[in-house]
Amino acid sequence: MKQLNIINSSVTLVVLLCLLALAAFVYNSQQPPAAAQSSAGATFDFGRFTKNKPFVLNTLPTTPYGPPWADILMQPSNFVECSGAAIALCYYSGPGPTTPCVPDGLGIANCTCYEIPAGQSYLVDINAILNRDVYLKTVAVCGPDGSLCKPTGSRPAPVCKAINDNTLIPGADLISTFSLYLEKRAKEYPQFSIDPTTCAKSSYAGCMTAPCKRIHKRDKTTGLPLVQCGCPTFDGPYQVGTAINTDQCVLDGNYVWSAAYTPSPSPSPTFQPRR
């Protein structure tokens, strides 16, 4: 029975991933192509987290649409499944007051995110792994599209071990990834529903695999601890994770959305990475 429950859980996860990608694909197929940022050169660093500890930022051209911190999802298999460590969920971050994202002017947005407890399943976009060595190891095991690793394949992804061992980004308390943990409470709290909205080119925070620090605060609505993550910013088209009006794509004040981008099924790349 336990094995059957695991199988059913994996099938449900794959179906949800496909629905997420399909929602973005359908919307984007009706949109004109939009230019993305033209260089993978980083304008930021994680020095406040890593201090003098060894770390190599991944600036490799993981997709034709942006550097790793653009958080590009080309297909559902790009999401590899992990479980174990507590993680940060920045999917709903952007405007205040609970989970704001505020750019620091140096290429990073300080985003307040939810801490998801240890032992839950979480997902990592293989294209958005910010540690170069871990990215290369993960691609070697999972394939460039992630399809050889769970949940679409059977192999464990090396990035999972790095996150669970807290070695992905030295100095971080935990790492930002994606989880369906709060989506399960969408009937009780509609703000946690997953209903992506595509926005035109603008600045957004790419929080996938970003480093985070605990701030010893707790969200009164969910009861979850809040953490602060250093999410690199990127200029390009993007999807906000929940349903909004398109005139809300650019937030008032100094806020930006935590977001990602799923190109249309047959896009014409405009991003030319430096090699």
The identity of residue 194, as a single letter, is I
Residue 45: pLDDT band (50, 70, 90) is very high
- What's the pLDDT score for residue 52? 86
User: What is the rounded average pLDDT for all residues in the chain?
Assistant: 85
- What's the pLDDT score for residue 96? 84
- What's the pLDDT score for residue 36? 34
- What's the pLDDT score for residue 6? 39
Q: Which of 38 and 162 is assigned the larger pLDDT?
A: 162
Residues 216-241 pLDDT 10s: 999 999 999 999 999 999 999 999 98
pLDDT at position 59 over 50? yes
- What's the pLDDT score for residue 192? 87
Lowest mean pLDDT among 23-27, 179-183, 253-257: 23-27
